[in-house]
Structure 1
Amino acid sequence: MTSRAGTYAQESDLIDDEAVVRAYYELKPDASIPAQRVVFGTSGHRGSSLDTAFNEDHIAACTQAIVEYRETQGTTGPLFIGADTHVLSGPAMTTALEVLIGNQVEVYTDAHDDYVPTPAVSHAIIKYNREHPGLPQADGIVVTPSHNPPRDGGFKYNPPHGGPADTDATSWIANRANELIANGLKGVDRAEPSGVEGYDFCEEYVADLVNIIDIDAIKAARVKIGADPLGGASVSYWKLIGEKYGLDLTVVNPRVDPKWPFMTLDWDEKIRMDPSSKFVMASVLEHKDEYQVVTGNDADADRHGIVTPDGGLLNPNHYLAVAIQYLYSHRPDWRADAAIGKTLVSSSIIDHVAESLGRRLWEVPVGFKWFVPGLVDGSVAFGGEESAGASFLRKDGTAWTTDKDGILLALLASEIIAVTGKSPSQLYRELTEKFGDPVYERIDAAATKEQKAKLGKLSGDAITATELAGDPIVAKLSEAPGNGAAVGGVKVVTENAWFAARPSGTEDVYKIYAESFKGAEHLAQVQAEAKRIVDEALEG
């Protein structure tokens, strides 16, 4: 049967949005059923109302738990809250506001009742706390399941540092929320959402871009830009960026529809707003020859996709390497000792770039939260993930966002073109001429829940192999070199290749990330041996 991946969604692919909203209010979770409990992953609690995994009780309990948590932390300033374009984000936003107002929390929502990207909330928190030293600190909530399918909802908490909450915070919030659900929401205070303050997220964010991006260079070079929000929260932002700065910028698809009927299907034939997927970006790729760069963002705009006429859709790893090479060569006011942050499943070409720049590489586990402390104090000037999420410092070396910023990284591509006269695709090819041309892929391998649990706690010492695909193994890691934090799996490294294995949080598989500097055939050998090595360790 022919796959429909990369083809436009059909009527049968679309959700019944009214049924999804109805289920949000009508279905009541049972906290004794694991699938119906609040569970915070790396980016908050996610699920579908249709599965009784994201319903009114979940959000009321989560919000009450956040109110109580912020009190334990002495966070008594205002709370900034924004939502993306998913159909469940509106109802969840209303529920959250009722609980926040019921608990007398000072709340800022969008002044124009517009959608709010994740980076705009992070930016607002950081800006407020910077401008109000000595006063009670602000924090925030983003109502979004990010790039997840239209039937899903999501809810995440950003403390006063502006980035994703750490595991201690999310565990506390989830445990308390499940306790409240189990007790029939006794202890949840609600009130009509009145007296809420308005904040112009879009204007404040866009006006500040001159302090982090060379807008003048983009304008002077007349870079021809196409921006596709993929039906997400960045629609108004791209429009204002073009208008405010007089750029040659076209929003190629300004449509917002919670069913996402204009999307092309992802690899599994689902509607998903992942701008790093060639299938999702198939409609964007149709415009590649009309502009010098076309960009895509997911629903909450924390991820980026970069399309150029000469390179098509850039692999996220490739663009991270180019962005790092460019930024650390064009930001003279950044600290001379500011490190380059990457997740340990990102490409090793970044290691070579870091070495050539004379910069320290700071390698951390998967999850953007690990970059937060470094971005806050300026000791890490750039933090990037292999899944097309990154942020970096302002020109003066101070924090911009401590959450992923897909708008920023997309706009950076235009600065790179304007200043260098070359596309990011050309610049990546130049990097491969210097450092080699790595081949990278992520695949899944079947695993039981017991095997996944064991893999999550596996020590590098449990790996008995001494070779990988013909090369001696030089490192077996279960802790990240940058900060010593547990990887939640293992990474095995040779001079020419590496693989990392981590359990999936949602499916009965584990993920194998692998890369080889010796070509596709060698990568396949690495992947096959990785599965054998991990399976042996799990049986041992």
Structure 2
Amino acid sequence: MTPTVRTAVQEWLSHDPDPASAAELAGCSEDELAERFAQPLTFGTAGLRGPLRAGPNGMNLAVVLRATWAVARVLTDRGLGGSQVVVGYDARHRSAEFGRAAAEVFAAQGFSVTLMFAAVPTPAVAFAVRGMGAAAGVQITASHNPPQDNGYKVYFPGGLQIVSPTDRDIEHAIASAPPADQIPRTPVTASGEDQVRAYLERAASVRRTTGPARIALTPMHGVGGEFALDALALAGFDDVHVVQRQFAPDPDFPTVAFPNPEEPGASDLLLALAADVDADIAVALDPDADRCAIGVPTPDGWRMLSGDETGWLIGDYILSDRQGKAVVASTVVSSRMLASIAAAHGARHVETLTGFKWLARADEGLDAPLVYAYEEAIGHCVDPDAVRDKDGISAAVLACDLVVALRGRGRTVPDALDDLARRHGVHTTTAVTRRVDSPQDAAAMMTRLRAAPPDTIAGVAVTVADLQPRTDALVFTGGDDAASVRVVIRPSGTEPKLKSYIEVRCAGELAPGRARAAALQEAVAAAVRAWT
């Protein structure tokens, strides 16, 4: 161990308010200590996220205290000292402890703090920040990450996720924060019941039709179960069947390999329940209930829709009932069909960088309001006036409502997808993920691709657009009106992965168009795997 690391460890331990940290660090090898103290956690997607462990490169009490002190300092420097702040937490390991600690630091810094009364969905915190006109909000959550992780998500005015330079300002403040045991804390009485009730009533209000639907639901061991049932009931949906083994919050997520509805097998129990009860729709929430995946019956059995398919359906549904100017948005890694849908409805489509910190700002500087935004990773913002972030519960209500509306016209979800394909062309999407040992490895692979980008993919001539410096991504496009391909390659913002997002579009009749699209997509995916 170098003298620098040894000094850093000793300094950390002398000020760590968590007595378990000393024992944990004492059991670490020198290599492990060097890794934990090489650099602190950095702000990624709207906040901090990492493994629960001692040291500056993990999620622990000391990191939460110093991060909160830093957020308070940035707010004060911007003239927002003493303002309202909302603090919430999910049901992960240590979330409640970290949430209370954050609230107590804000209170000691003179802020008026609403500390949520229980583990709540992340969008409830975003809603409360916006509705209360709060200066900031913090949600302790790692969303759909593995059980050993936790995180610290930050909202600023309007319930918007932070963007640069705010994230850098907070990091700089963390670097100058006092030692964790010297940061003052003032006790806070939990509250927030009125805000959560208002959130659920607003989520229920996105419904447009009347009539019943039989719903299968899983919160995937997260916080969304009871809240989703309440919102659905307020919307008039009372025939809801839940996956009992996944309903109660459990931070170990015992029935799934990864608590993410997108992962293969994660929704198997849900689809089995949906088939057993003859449901009209299946709904899977991720652990903090900000994302929503939809399953539907088809002639070949139940299947989960992709995030893009759900995005097409909801976008078309919202715009079909919209009067006046409107903006819809999707990210650079999402399907391009929403742009075509928007044009057909006379609306404006905006393509943003990945993440809801950008999607939520898609209407900035425009003369029309944002009415819907989605990303392919099953994130949907269906009521931007209330929640400027992805919201799995309001999206679930609207998806169930869509099923009822389609049934009233003698149509099903597969019928609706066919209709969209006839109007806008067959679009197919898939992703190729390359796991790497570290973010540095992903960056090195991007450097190699920039140095020698392919000029054809699966026999299709392509051009490449480099999105640097805005973001680390390459976009390959090629083809013609009959058939086109699009591949976006970028490192993951939350995990050590290199991700390639593939979309194929084919014109013509449905059956032959889908056959051509499937064959071309398979060839494109094979090509991407070969050079990533």
TM-score bracket for the superposition, by shorter chain length: 0.7 to 0.9
Superposed CA offset, 1:164-186 (max 9, x none) = 11132122223322443xx6337
From 106, 109, 134, the equivalent of 1:103 is 109
Match of 1:4 in 2: none
Match of residue 280, structure 2, among 289, 292, 311: 292
Equivalent residue, structure 1, for 2:369: 379
The CA deviation at 1:251 is: 5.1
CA distance in 1: counterparts of 2:495 and 2:237, whole angstroms: 44
Rounded to whole Å, the distance in 2 between the matches of 1:287 and 1:383 is 30
**Offset at residue 230 of structure 1 (A):** 1.6
Change (3 A) 1:406 1:175: same
- Provide Cα deviations, 1:225-245, integer angstroms capped at 9, x if missing partner: 232222222223123224434
1:368 has 2:360 as partner: no
Match of 1:316 among 307, 311, 315: 307
Whole-angstrom distance in 1 between the partners of 2:146 and 2:435: 23
Judge conservation of contact 2:280–2:296 (CA < 8 Å) in 1: yes
Cα separation, partners in 2 of 1:168 and 1:389, compared to 1, 3 Å = same
Equivalent position of 1:212 in the other structure = 206
CA contact (8 A) 1:319 1:428 kept: no
Q: Distance in 2 between matches of 1:36 and 1:511?
A: 25
Cα offset, 1:197, TM superposition: 4.8
* Deviation of 1:371 (Å): 1.8
Any conservation in 2 of the 1:284–1:294 contact (CA below 8 Å)? yes
C-alpha distance in structure 2 between counterparts of 1:107 and 1:120, whole Å: 15
Instruction: Give the direction of change, closer, same or farther, for the CA distance of 1:35–1:120 in structure 2 (3 Å limit).
Output: farther
User: In the alignment, which residue of structure 2 is the partner of 1:255?
Assistant: 248
Cα contact 1:455–1:502 (8 A) shared by 2: no
How far apart, CA to CA, are the structure 1 residues paired with 2:68 and 2:196?
24
State the match for 1:61 in structure 2: 66
Match of 1:138 in 2: 135
Cα distance in 1 for partners of 2:313, 2:476 equals 25
Task: Return closer, same or farther for 1:210/1:233 CA change in 2, 3 Å cut-off.
Answer: closer
**1:120 matched to which residue of 2?**
124
Which among 329, 348, 356 is matched to residue 341 of structure 1? 329
Q: Secondary structure at the match of 1:276?
A: coil
Other structure's SS at 1:494 match: strand
1:414 to 392, 400, 425: 400
One of 220, 237, 242 as aligned partner of 1:230: 220
Identity %: 23
Q: Aligned partners of 2:105, 2:218: CA distance in 1, in Å?
A: 35
Aligned residue identity for 2:315:
I
Alignment pair present for 1:190 and 2:182: no
Equivalent position of 1:434 in the other structure: 423
Are 2:153 and 1:149 equivalent residues in the alignment?
A: no
Match of 1:264 among 249, 256, 275: 256
CA contact (8 A) 2:204 2:235 kept: no
Q: Which runs of 4+ in 1 moved over 6 A?
A: 28-32, 455-460
Cα distance in structure 2, aligned partners of 1:174 and 1:95: 19
Q: 2:489 aligns with which of 490, 494, 501?
A: 501
**More displaced 10-residue stretch of structure 1: 69-78 or 154-163:** 69-78
Residues 179 and 523 of structure 1: CA distance in aligned 2, closer, same or farther (over 3 Å): farther
Amino acid at match of 1:66: V
Aligned counterpart, 1:10: none
- Residues of 2 paired with 1:149 and 1:442: CA distance? 20
Q: Which amino acid aligns with 1:102?
A: A
Shift in alpha-carbon separation, 1:382–1:457, aligned structure 2, 3 A? farther
Q: What displacement does 1:87 show? A: 1.6
The answer on whether the counterparts of 1:239 and 1:251 sit within 8 Å (CA) in structure 2 is no
Calculate the aligned-residue CA RMSD, in Å.
3.0
**1:389 and 2:379 equivalent?**
yes
Q: Number of matched residues?
A: 478
Q: Deviations over 1:306-335 (max 9, x none)?
A: 112225211111111111111100133xx4
Report the CA distance between 1:138 and its aligned residue.
Answer: 3.2
Corresponding position of 2:157 = 160
CA contact (8 A) 1:48 1:153 kept: yes
> Aligned in 2, Cα 1:102/1:51: closer, same or farther, shift over 3 Å?
closer
Distance 1:243 1:157, change over 3 A: same
Q: Distance in 2 between matches of 1:288 and 1:458?
A: 46
Per-residue deviation at 1:393? 3.4
How far apart are residue 531 of structure 1 and its match?
Answer: 5.8
Offset, 1:529: 3.9
Q: Distance in 2 between matches of 1:467 and 1:246?
A: 52
Which residue of 2 is the match for residue 70 of structure 1?
A: 75
The residue type paired with residue 489 of structure 1 is A
- Residue 471 (structure 2) aligns with: 487
**Counterpart of 1:355?**
343
Taking the aligned partners of 2:307 and 2:435, their CA distance within structure 1 comes to 26
Distance 2:176 2:380 in 1: 35
Q: CA deviation at 1:435?
A: 3.3
| Aligned: 1:90 with 2:90 | no
Aligned pairs (5 A) from 1:162-177: 162-177=159-174
Residue 149 of structure 1: CA displacement? 1.7
Greater CA drift, 230-239 or 60-69: 230-239
Residues 24 and 408 of structure 1, relative CA distance in 2, 3 Å threshold: farther
Shift of 1:375: 5.6
Change (3 A) 1:222 1:504: closer
Q: 1:506 to 1:108 in 2, by over 3 A?
A: closer
Please state how far the C-alpha of 1:450 moved relative to its aligned partner: 5.4
Q: 1:445 to 1:147 in 2, by over 3 A?
A: closer
Assess if the C-alpha contact under 8 Å between 2:290 and 2:379 holds in 1.
yes
1:47-68 per-position Cα deviation (integer Å, ceiling 9, x unaligned) = 2224641111110111111111
What do the CA deviations read for 1:5-55 (whole angstroms, capped 9, x no partner)?
A: xxxxxxxxxxxxxxxx98579657989846661222114211222464111
Distance apart, 1:223 and its partner CA? 1.5
Change (3 A) 1:64 1:457: farther
* Greater relative contact order structure (CA < 8 Å, 6+ sep): 1
Counterpart contact for 1:30–1:37, Cα < 8 Å: no
The alpha-carbon distance between structure 1 residues 326 and 62, as it changes in their structure 2 partners (threshold 3 A), is same
Equivalent AA in structure 2 for residue 453 of structure 1: A
Q: CA deviation at 1:360?
A: 2.6
TM-score if structure 2 supplies the norm length? 0.81
Please report the TM-score for the alignment, with normalisation by the length of structure 1. 0.80
Q: Distance in 1 between the 2:21 and 2:181 partners?
A: 19
Residues 38, 174 of structure 1: 8 Å contact kept: no
Does 1:526 pair with 2:524?
yes
- Residue identity in the other structure for 1:259: D
Mark the CA change 1:450 to 1:244 in structure 2 (over 3 Å): closer, same or farther.
closer
Q: What amino acid maps onto 1:40 in structure 2?
A: F
1:258 to partner: Cα distance = 2.4
CA contact (8 A) 1:342 1:383 kept: yes
In the alignment, is residue 40 of structure 1 matched against residue 33 of structure 2?
no
Tell me the equivalent position of 1:203: 197
- Residue 530 of structure 1, CA deviation: 4.1
Cα distance between partner residues in 2 of 1:202 and 1:449: 37
